[in-house]
């Protein structure tokens, strides 16, 4: 009797274990879990996984009804309470809808955390990539990635659309600042380091889990190479052989373990890359061996056959796109895709490949075991002193000293009478640039928590130093030195495309006002690319390219006053005039690629 009870109990235990689907068993290999889950899915469930809808255009009930696989927050798309708790509550609510579906497949929530978790109020905002290219520090990139991942996880999110692996060749492009350098070798080195920081090491047990998130290598391939630097434009000036060097950063990213690749809006010789089977399936998935999922850019698939939604979806899906960032028109996408499959215009093998890739990353991301926000990380919040110190280090390492007559820099820390001029010296919005709180960025002085350049100067200058400030440059007379802060207003993507990269008239007027006083000038330029300063630089005693430093402006002061030496080097050739920009002429620039002075 006792033996029978034992045997019966053991048998019941085995039966109970067998009743648990393989895909729900965390001890099973991921590929086995993926295969088991795909085998259980209906066509509707599979198509749902291929949808990424915008937060504002989907509800918890929609996710449950349509079995949607992903939700995103575009630039500036934030919950009513823009706090870690507000974000985590929003994401968890969507997640509850996903877990109420028949198979309980969790969503993966994506966000543009491109220089820190930049949609979130009071998060640490790191320098934009152009500045990090000037710093060119692989270890720093890993630490930035790790800090960013932790802040993203603190809001219940596990997926970011970063980094950008473009190597811009025409700085008229409005996304130049998203590229680490015009040199693909630098881009590959820094981009892969950031990915490792975001995701963890691909062979570690904690890969993509805990405080790590899934990264996206974007935008494959050719953004930054378009004719005249036009955003979403056409790549016509490069042969297939020449394009290969711009693909190499993606090869490095994939080797590092990048789990998502986003396709570029641009075209190559008239063919939209969203519909390019050769580039997506043969090159990216084939030659480069990419095993994660390919995601479209915002409504990018619909551009393949303008005005023909059905044909656009058909071509882009057959080209190899797996997840469709289709923020608002996702219901139409679902019905269209069902019809395409029913009429054999998209094979089931293509659907299964897409879903397999998406689910693979979700399992790796730990979403089946831990679908909800880690409330201990939420309580820890964003913008910690530790993360801000990493950002401050990044700022000081990114500063490039381009002129330093009579060794005016570093400035003495005690006893100077300093004049600071320009509204951009005391404005978090200007120094953070686009993709900060909102898509295009804002010029609000107190846009988010941080330290402005002016505040940093006052902090670092020393107790016996006088620091006077004027937005319009009035009152420079009688000072030992004037620090004049100028630069571009915030912008993102096509809104930043320019035909003229000269300084703004308001900055020229500011410079001229201070110049008339005869006070030595240290000029700090905040910009998302090199600007044409050839006619003005002769009037400056020192010139610093500060790029878009983010929230930790004191890093600029750290090198101005010699607490740390200048070490940044130009990640882009600095042109003398627009003719050099338009003609890709880099033979006699104002400053060559890699130039940067050091202080004693």
DSSP string, 130-160: HHHHHH--HHHHHHHHHHHHHHHHTTT--EE
**Matching residue, tokens 């600071």:** 420
| Distance between CA atoms of residues 156 and 163, nearest Å | 20
CB 380 within 8 A of CB 387: no
Strand-strand pairing, 400-404 and 542-545? antiparallel
CB 236 within 8 A of CB 267: no
The phi and psi torsions of 459 (rounded to 5 degrees) equal -70, -40
Record the tokens describing residue 337, joined without a space: 């895709």
Helices 330-342, 309-319: inter-axial angle, 10-degree rounding: 70
Q: Which of 297, 322, 364, 558 is labelled catalytic?
A: 297
Q: Which of 488, 493, 552, 558 is labelled catalytic?
A: 493
CB 276 within 8 A of CB 266: no
| Distance between CA atoms of residues 454 and 105, nearest Å | 50
Record the tokens describing residue 19, joined without a space: 């009743």
| Distance between CA atoms of residues 286 and 160, nearest Å | 24
**Matching residue, tokens 């929230």:** 551
Question: Nearest CA to 537 among 572, 499, 502, 566?
Answer: 502
Question: Nearest CA to 40 among 22, 17, 67, 63?
Answer: 22
Contacts of range 373-379, beta carbons closer than 8 Å, 24 or more positions apart: 373/88, 373/91, 373/92, 373/153, 373/155, 373/156, 374/153, 374/156, 374/210, 375/88, 377/150, 377/153, 377/154, 377/211, 378/84, 378/85, 378/88, 378/154, 378/155, 378/156
Cis peptide before 163 (omega within 30 of 0): yes
Question: Nearest CA to 568 among 50, 303, 180, 179?
Answer: 180
| Distance between CA atoms of residues 50 and 265, nearest Å | 19
Neighbouring C-alpha atoms within 13 Å toward the C-beta of 203:
1
Cite the beta strand spans of 225-334 per DSSP E.
Answer: 234-235, 260-263, 267-268, 271-272, 293-295, 324-325
| Distance between CA atoms of residues 225 and 168, nearest Å | 6
Strand-strand pairing, 324-325 and 267-268? unpaired
| Distance between CA atoms of residues 509 and 442, nearest Å | 23
Per 3-state DSSP, the chain is made up of helix, strand and coil in percentages (nearest 5) of: 45, 15, 45
The phi and psi torsions of 267 (rounded to 5 degrees) equal -115, 160
Tell me the Cα Rg of the chain. 26
Neighbouring C-alpha atoms within 13 Å toward the C-beta of 363:
24
> Rounded to an integer, what is the distance from CA 341 to the centroid of its chain?
34
Is 56 marked active-site?
no
Is 297 marked active-site?
yes
| Distance between CA atoms of residues 232 and 300, nearest Å | 10
The residues annotated with a catalytic role in the active site are 297, 493
């Amino acid at each position: 009797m006792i033996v029978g009870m034992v045997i019966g109990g053991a048998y019941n235990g085995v039966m109970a274990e067998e009743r648990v689907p393989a895909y729900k068993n965390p001890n099973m290999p991921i590929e086995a879990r993926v295969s088991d889950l795909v085998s259980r899915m209906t066509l509707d469930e599979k198509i749902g996984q291929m949808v990424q809808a915008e937060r504002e255009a989907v509800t918890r009930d929609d996710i449950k009804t349509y079995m949607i696989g992903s939700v995103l927050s575009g630039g500036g798309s934030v919950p009513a309470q823009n706090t870690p708790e507000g974000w985590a509550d929003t994401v968890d609510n969507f997640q509850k809808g996903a877990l109420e579906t028949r198979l309980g497949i969790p969503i993966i929530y994506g966000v543009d955390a491109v220089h820190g978790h930049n949609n979130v109020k009071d998060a640490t905002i790191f320098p934009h990539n152009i500045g990090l290219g000037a710093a060119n520090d692989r270890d720093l990139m890993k630490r930035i990635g790790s800090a960013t991942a932790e802040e993203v996880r603190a809001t219940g999110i596990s997926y970011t659309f970063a980094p950008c692996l473009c190597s811009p060749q025409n700085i008229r492009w409005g996304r130049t600042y998203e590229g680490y350098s015009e040199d693909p070798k630098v881009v590959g080195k820094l981009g892969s380091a950031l990915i490792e920081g975001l995701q963890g090491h691909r062979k570690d047990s904690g890969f993509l889990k805990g405080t790590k998130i899934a990264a996206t290598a974007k935008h494959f391939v050719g953004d930054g190479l378009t004719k005249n630097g036009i955003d979403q434009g056409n790549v016509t000036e490069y042969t297939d052989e020449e394009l290969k060097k711009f693909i190499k950063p993606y090869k490095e990213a994939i080797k590092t373990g990048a789990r998502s690749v986003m396709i570029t809006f641009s075209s190559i010789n008239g063919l939209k890359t969203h519909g390019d089977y050769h580039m997506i399936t043969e090159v990216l998935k084939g030659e480069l061996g990419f095993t994660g999922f390919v995601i479209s850019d915002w409504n990018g698939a619909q551009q393949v056959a303008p005005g023909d939604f059905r044909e656009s979806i058909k071509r882009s899906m057959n080209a190899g796109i797996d997840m469709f960032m289709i923020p608002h028109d996702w219901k139409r996408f679902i019905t269209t895709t069902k019809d395409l499959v029913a009429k054999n215009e998209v094979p089931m093998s293509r659907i299964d490949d897409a879903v397999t890739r998406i689910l693979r990353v979700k399992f790796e991301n730990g979403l089946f075991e831990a679908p909800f926000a880690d409330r201990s990380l939420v309580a820890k919040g964003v913008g910690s002193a530790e993360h801000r110190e990493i950002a401050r280090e990044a700022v000081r390492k990114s500063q490039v000293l381009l002129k330093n007559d009579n060794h005016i820099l570093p400035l003495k820390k005690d006893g100077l009478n300093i004049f600071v001029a320009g509204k951009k010296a005391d404005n978090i919005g200007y120094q953070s640039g686009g993709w900060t709180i909102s898509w295009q960025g804002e010029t609000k002085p107190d846009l988010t928590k941080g330290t402005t350049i002016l505040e940093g100067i006052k902090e670092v200058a020393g107790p016996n130093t006088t620091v006077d400030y004027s937005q319009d440059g009035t009152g420079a007379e009688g000072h030992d030195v004037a620090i004049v802060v100028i630069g571009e207003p915030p912008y993102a993507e096509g809104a930043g495309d320019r035909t003229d990269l000269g300084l703004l008239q308001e900055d020229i007027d500011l410079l001229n006002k201070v110049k008339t006083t005869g006070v030595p000038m240290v000029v700090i330029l905040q910009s998302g690319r090199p600007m044409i300063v050839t006619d003005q630089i002769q009037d400056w005693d020192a010139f610093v390219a500060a790029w878009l430093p983010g929230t930790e402006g004191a890093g600029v002061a750290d090198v101005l006053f010699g607490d740390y030496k200048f070490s940044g080097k130009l990640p882009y050739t600095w042109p003398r005039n627009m003719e050099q920009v338009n003609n890709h002429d880099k033979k006699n620039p104002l400053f060559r690629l890699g130039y940067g002075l050091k202080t004693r």
